[in-house]
Structures are given as structure tokens and as C-alpha cells.
Chain A
């Protein structure tokens, strides 16, 4: 069966053979000649017969701030898993820029290449201090031998201090990350993302468990990041989404239900039925 499939793949004339493609090269600037920095086409993923993603199509432009909403089980987190290499898609294509096929890369390569991710549950390195958490995430050579003799340069230290201030933890660099409050952990994780200096930030539920004031500051931070970075936010909090979103994608049962401005999306009768209708 698979031999037949492979042979057929060789006969296709609408695409270049896989082995002819150059290996992904993150040293080169990402090819954005056609607009999107992240491009998903017909991506499907099944877990034990359950289709978490069903022919999902999504294109996100460079510098965009995109919000993704959808009811529970719509496939939001699975989508992030597929982009970051944690889960492999059963079919479909996922491209970073025009040339880099993310499905051929493993998690650490994708992370080094410029896609950073914040988890739904804030995940920081609890046994390490705030400073060390950021230092570990710093974009630099992360191979084993190099890290045995790694020293922070003055420039990197400066960047670290800058991010510390940005996430409001400037006074607590020596605090153990495990001792931080929930909101502070969320912020630290965002800071760790920034240290990686990614082109694309995937942010899963950044304001879950935050106070109103913290939520507001997070909204400000994320908005200020767009432009230089591409930010994709998955969130349940509709007020928060409304406050930051320019373009919203609604997922439902693993595929895109609607896409557009918040006003247009929230006026869509299908969206009201599957999602907003639930709340009303």
C-alpha cells in the first residue's frame, strides 16, 4: 500500500519532489514573498478515531495579531501542537514562510527557528530563579558542549534586564519561579518567549486566572508585540479578545467556521449558534 502511495507521489506533477527541496535553513531570512508567515492547508489530525483537526486551513500574515476562539474541543490546542511539532498531522501541509516545511522538523528545531509557544497551564522551570528561567530561554547556541561553558555576554545581560522590566518582574530576579503567583508565572512564561526572540508567538490562554488589571496589562503587552512579531492568541475570555483582536478566527470541530473582524464574526449566525450562543 505504502509503496503504491510512494510511487504515486513520484508521479505528481504539481509539486517538486521532496528530496529535491533544499534543507530548511533558518539562517536565511524567512521567505515572506507571498504574505503569510504561517500557512496551514488541509491539516487533519485524529486521535483514536476522534478528528481533532478536520481539513483546517489557516494563513497568518507576518506582523499580524490573530485571535483564535472556539468552544472546548474545537481543536485550538491541537492546532498549536501541530505547528510546534508536538503532534504530527495525519495529512495536510504546514509551512513557515514559503520554504520551511514544519512537518519535517522536531520541536527544538522549530523553536530555534523562530516559533515560540506559551502553554495553556503556565509552565516555568520551578526549581530555577526568574533570572535563570529567562537565561535558559535566551536565543543562543543550545547544543550540549556549548552550554557546559556558556557565559552571558554584556549584550545578552542587557536584553535579559530589559525583558525582566517588561514583564514586571524587575524586582524579583532571584525569586524561585515556583514561588511566583499564577499571574506572575504567566508573565514569566511570556518573558521566556520574548527571550527566544521568535518571529511567531503562539500564546495559549494568556489571561486565564489573571486579575482584571493583569489582563489589561497583558493586552497592552501583546498589542505592542504585534508588528515586530506575529502573535497568535488562543483565548476563551471574549472581553479580552474583543479588546485586542483585529482579526479573529473561529474554530469549530477542527475546522475554520468563520474568519474576520470581531464584529463581523460575532454577528455571524453560525458562530452565535455554536459558540456565543452557548454563553447567552
Chain B
């Protein structure tokens, strides 16, 4: 089955091979090679690439629903952020009495705000397994309720995109409030360790990087399985002719809802992997702009090809890192121009270019002549 998934997908195969090479090379380059070697990978780069892997996972989640089912979510940052907050809660509980106020039970911001005891929704997050479960359940549940209401009322297209923006914006405003009990403006930070390992240690960083990479590869294969199954063909049918699909006997809403929840869970996992690597989660992750930017990665990489989303996330974020260090004030203009150029000249993104090249080099498929 694995070979069937891979062989039918040349672009994906290349991207997976590159990812595998990265996962093998980066730990060696960071931990084994001496710091003055030209092939040495600095810990900063490890964290940076680890971040990109999380973004790629988020882009993959967006491409799955947008590229294959035509559901444009401009609010996937909501699920990414929730996954991140769940992980942040676990990491905050791990701080214990090493906080500024030295309270063994309450995080610093709660002591500051005169909490007497831990709020009920913070219970259980000192357990890693519980946090892992919640990383998927919390975004999944939100997607289930939100999607159920939206799809049942047959909200789609631009209208759906707009209400997802509203969703992520509402979450941002809510998380900015101190009373909500998630650290308000400052979010959750000053993490010390994860599962007993020092979070700033090189080895921990590298391990998190490798786990992110493996999660991305795993998620890619699952997405690939979904879209090559009959389920995936139903999705494309919904995207192209929704009411025809209904009259073919498919309950379109349940397909959309299933996929939306799955995609939200992937985004949640991406957020949970992101937080320990960057060391902070704050309401900024819920900013509407961040969610739109994530859709841009997919558009640049090539909507509807899965591996294109990974390429897009890496290339746009790579460009962003370069620009913001060299010409910080130019970045937003560059992003705008990039989007205009891609829309005008590469409607199918970077993946589309590869596909066209592939069609030129490989011979025409058989059995298609009339």
C-alpha cells in the first residue's frame, strides 16, 4: 500500500526524500560535527527549520481541505493556536516552583492575578498523555461544532472563509483577556522542561526537530492515503459539483465535516510541536493575518498537490527569514508582490511548474487517443 501511495506521486516522493535527508543530516550536523566545521548546523538553524516543519504541517492541513474539498479556511490559525496553547499549558505546569513567585501549583500570572487555586480547565495538564490527547481533541471539537453549524446551513465559498476569519479573530480577542486565564497578552512562556528534558538543551531541540519531521512525513502519507481513496474522489467531486455529488447519494456535509475535523487536528498537532521549539505561545498566533499568511504558503506552493504545501511553507518562510534579517521593512511588500506574481503567472503554484515540466519529459499517458 505504501508503495502504491508513493509511486503515483513523483513530486511528493522528491519532497519526502528531501525531508528524510534533512531529518538525518541536521542531527548529525548539529550534534556530531564540530562548531567550526563548514557543515555544522547551528542550534538556531535547527530551531528555525523545526519551526518551518510545523508551518509545513499547518499548510498541509490547509491544502487538504482547500485543494481537495474546496473549503477555504482563513482561520486555521485558530486550530494551530489552540494546539499550541494546550502544549503551552502542559509546559507551564512543568515549571512547578521554579517560577518567579515560586508557587508549586499556580503559574506566575495566576499568582500575580491573585488566583487561589488552579481553574478547572487547567486540571490534568500536568500529565503529558492528557495534554497530547487534548492537542487533538480541543481543535477537533471546535472544528466539529463550528463545521457542523456551517456545513449544515450550507455555508460555503467566500462566506465560509469570512466566518472562519471571524472565528480566529474572536479567539484572539478572547485570549487577549487576562480573565480568561491563559496569561492574556503575554501568553504562556518561560518554559523549563518537557518530559524532564531541559527545553533549551541542544539535544532536546534536535529531538523536537526530528519528531516534527516525522510527524510531517506521517501526516503527508495519511493525507495521501485519504485523497487516493474513494473518499478523496468524493471530495474532488464535492469541490467541482457539490449538488451533483448529493444526487449521487453522498451526504456531502458529513464528508466535509469529517475532513474539516481531521484537518483541524493536524493543525493542532502542528501548533503543539511549534510551541516547545519557539518557547512561547501568545494570542498573536490567533491574529487573522497569520491565518491568511498560511493560506498564502499553500497558494504559492501549489494548491491541491499536498507536497506543494510543504514547498510553499518552506519557501515563503525561508524568504521571510532572509528578508526580515536583511531588509526588514521590505518584507510585507515582497510578500504582496509574490502573491500577485504567483496568482498571475503561476496559478498552480510552484508544484504546478514541476508538474508541467514532468509532463514535458514523460510521454503522454496511454489509452487516451480517440
Q: Decide whether A and B assemble into one complex.
A: yes
Q: Which chain A residues have a beta carbon within 8 Å of chain B's beta carbons? A: 84, 86, 106-108, 111-112, 116-117, 119, 123-128, 132, 135-137, 139, 142-144, 147-150, 171-175, 192, 196
Looking across the interface, which residue of chain A has its beta carbon closest to that of B244? A123
**A147 with B236: CB separation less than 8 A:** no
Contacts of A150 in B (CB 8 A): 229-231
Contacts of B114 in A (CB 8 A): none
Looking across the interface, which residue of chain A has its beta carbon closest to that of B229? A148
| Chain B contacts with A in 189-238, Cβ cutoff 8 A | 226, 229-231, 233-234, 236-237
Q: Top 3 nearest A-B pairs by Cβ distance?
A: A150-B230, A111-B249, A112-B249
Which of the four size classes fits the interface of chain B? 20 to 34
Q: List 21 A-B contacts (CB under 8 A).
A: A106-B251, A107-B246, A108-B247, A108-B251, A111-B246, A111-B247, A123-B243, A125-B233, A125-B236, A126-B240, A128-B237, A136-B230, A136-B233, A136-B234, A136-B245, A142-B249, A142-B251, A143-B251, A144-B231, A147-B230, A147-B231
Of A119, A137, A174, A192, the residue contacting B365 (CB under 8 A) is A174
Interface majority SS (helix, strand, loop, mixed), chain B: helix
Contacts of A147 in B (CB 8 A): 229-231, 234
Contacts of A196 in B (CB 8 A): 248-249
Contacts of A86 in B (CB 8 A): 243
**A192 with B231: CB separation less than 8 A:** no
B8, CB-defined interface residue at 8 Å? no
Contacts of A136 in B (CB 8 A): 230, 233-234, 237, 245, 248
B116, CB-defined interface residue at 8 Å? no
Contacts of A107 in B (CB 8 A): 243, 246-247
Given contacts A136-B230, A175-B368, 9 further A-B contacts (CB under 8 A): A84-B247, A126-B241, A137-B248, A147-B231, A148-B229, A149-B229, A172-B370, A174-B367, A196-B249
Q: Which of B244, B365, B368 has the most CB of A within 10 A?
A: B244
C-alpha spacing A86/B154, complex, angstroms: 12
**Given contact pairs A127-B240, A174-B367, A108 touches B250 in the complex (Cβ within 8 A):** yes
Q: Which chain B residues have a beta carbon within 8 Å of chain A's beta carbons? A: 226, 229-231, 233-234, 236-237, 239-241, 243-252, 254-255, 258, 365, 367-368, 370
C-alpha spacing A108/B233, complex, angstroms: 17
CB distance from A143 to the nearest CB of B (A): 7
Contacts of A124 in B (CB 8 A): 241, 244
Contacts of B248 in A (CB 8 A): 111, 136-137, 142, 192, 196
Q: Which of A125, A137, A150, A171 has the most CB of B within 10 A?
A: A125
CB distance from A45 to the nearest CB of B (A): 17
**B247 with A148: CB separation less than 8 A:** no
CB distance from A38 to the nearest CB of B (A): 16
CB distance from A104 to the nearest CB of B (A): 16
Contacts of A108 in B (CB 8 A): 246-247, 249-252
Looking across the interface, which residue of chain A has its beta carbon closest to that of B366? A174
CB distance from B264 to the nearest CB of A (A): 16
CB distance from B230 to the nearest CB of A (A): 4
Contacts of A175 in B (CB 8 A): 368
Looking across the interface, which residue of chain B has its beta carbon closest to that of A149? B229
**B240 with A119: CB separation less than 8 A:** no
C-alpha spacing A143/B250, complex, angstroms: 7
